[in-house]
Amino acid sequence: MFNIALIGFGAVGKSFVKLLQLKKNLLPDNMKLKYIIKSDGGIYDKDGLDIDEIVKYTNSNNKIQKHPLWSNISFKDMIKNKDIDILVELTSTNIINGEPGYTHIKSALENNINVVTGNKGPILLYYHELKNISLKNDVYLKIGCTTGGALPSVNAGTIDVLGSQVTEIIGVLNGTTNFILEEMIKSNMDYKEALKKAQDLKIAEKDPSLDVLGIDTAIKMAILSKVIWDVDFDFEKLKIQGITNVRKKDLLDNISKKKTKLVGRAYFLNGNFEFEVKPMLLNKDHPLYFVDGKNKGVHYKTDILGDITVIGGASSPLNAAASIFRDLLYIIENRRR
């Protein structure tokens, strides 16, 4: 049996439910979505919610709070009911203390519930602890969506290099800054103009700090480092520099042979974990030189499989939901055997 609860019902959560409908043929007959929970209540059906009905309901812009099944049911009630195998955790991310995601994920794993999440905060802050609980209880903790959405960056750094040792991770993992830097060259704009354009196109957020200060890139690189090396460090102490001081003039130097991108690098030097995020010049023959526009990419150096690069970047809520769906199917396929 695959009984699923969804907590968090924003754009990605809604797209995820749509995928459960659209991709029904890939799901086992005994899969049920029993809960959709938000901070102020939720809907629940012990026999499984009617997915077609919910998609129709939300497509018509109806508030889930007005749904006939809506009650003040909470995450704690769900845990008490003991009728769930997989939790899909999609509440808003919080990188200060990881809540409420941290409590949700920890509590689920402790109750032998598999977890799929796209929530960066709890994974950044508590990955080591959460992973250990999942191993102890032999349940999955799948986090692919936290490090680039549709880009299979976690898979590439784990499953695709199984048996080899990753010796370095290099990532261009933020589409917004990639777009801004490219726009400064293509449209001959300075940083502020290009940021404004990205905001007008809804590529950058109103408060673009997380992206342009390099924090989003650093979070993704930090999570990949923890997943791949099981290394622990204080995120606050990492060297992180954004693109706010990049000048048009710097970008145009050597433009035929080099490109400036916001790059994250993590590796070990003399046994010490080294980490940096900053604008870097990439040579024309660098495997991430061509990761342009809204694309993202990550490059792994390994001991016995050579270098492996994966590039992707579809970043709509549906694409992020597809990343969650990929991790869900991975659990189902491996639990089915």
Least distance from C-beta 87 to a copy of itself, angstroms? Answer: 18
Distance of CA 109 to the CA centre of its chain: 19
For a copy of itself, the closer CB: 42 or 144? 144
Q: Which of residues 46-85 bind a copy of itself (CB under 8 A)?
A: none
- Catalytic residue check, 38: no
- C-alpha span between 254 and 23 (Å, rounded): 47
What sign results for the dihedral spanned by CA atoms 147, 151, 155, 156?
A: negative
Q: Which of residues 145-204 bind a copy of itself (CB under 8 A)?
A: 150-152, 155-156, 159-164
For a copy of itself, the closer CB: 133 or 238? 133
Q: Which of residues 269-308 bind a copy of itself (CB under 8 A)?
A: 285, 287, 289-290, 292, 304-308
Whether residue 28 is preceded by a cis peptide bond, meaning omega within 30 degrees of 0, is: no
Name which position in 55, 79, 213, 314 contacts a copy of itself (CB under 8 A).
314
For a copy of itself, the closer CB: 247 or 284? 284
Alpha carbon separation from 255 to 171, 197, 296 (Å, rounded): 21, 22, 20
Complete DSSP assignment for 26-39: GS-TTEEEEEEEET
Name which position in 11, 21, 23, 71 contacts a copy of itself (CB under 8 A).
23
- C-alpha span between 34 and 87 (Å, rounded): 10
For a copy of itself, the closer CB: 38 or 142? 142
Residues in the interface with a copy of itself (CB under 8 A) total: 45
Least distance from C-beta 160 to a copy of itself, angstroms? Answer: 4
Determine which one of 142, 220, 226, 261 is catalytic: 220
Q: Is 311 in the site for a copy of itself (CB under 8 A)?
A: yes
For a copy of itself, the closer CB: 170 or 215? 170
- Give the SS3 label for residue 149: coil
Least distance from C-beta 169 to a copy of itself, angstroms? Answer: 15
- C-alpha span between 17 and 23 (Å, rounded): 10
Least distance from C-beta 36 to a copy of itself, angstroms? Answer: 20
Tokens of 110: 């402790």
Residue 261: strand pairing partners: 280
- C-alpha span between 137 and 317 (Å, rounded): 31
Alpha-helical (H) ranges within the chain are 11-22, 51-59, 75-81, 101-110, 120-136, 153-157, 175-186, 191-200, 209-212, 215-229, 248-252, 317-336
- C-alpha span between 178 and 171 (Å, rounded): 12
Least distance from C-beta 307 to a copy of itself, angstroms? Answer: 6
Least distance from C-beta 51 to a copy of itself, angstroms? Answer: 16
Do 7 and 89 form a contact (C-beta atoms < 8 A)? Answer: yes
For a copy of itself, the closer CB: 212 or 318? 318
Q: Which of residues 218-277 bind a copy of itself (CB under 8 A)?
A: none
- C-alpha span between 18 and 210 (Å, rounded): 29
Active site residues: 220
Site residues for a copy of itself per CB under 8 A = 19, 22-23, 26, 138, 150-152, 155-156, 159-164, 285, 287, 289-290, 292, 304-314, 318-319, 321-323, 325-326, 328-330, 333-334, 337
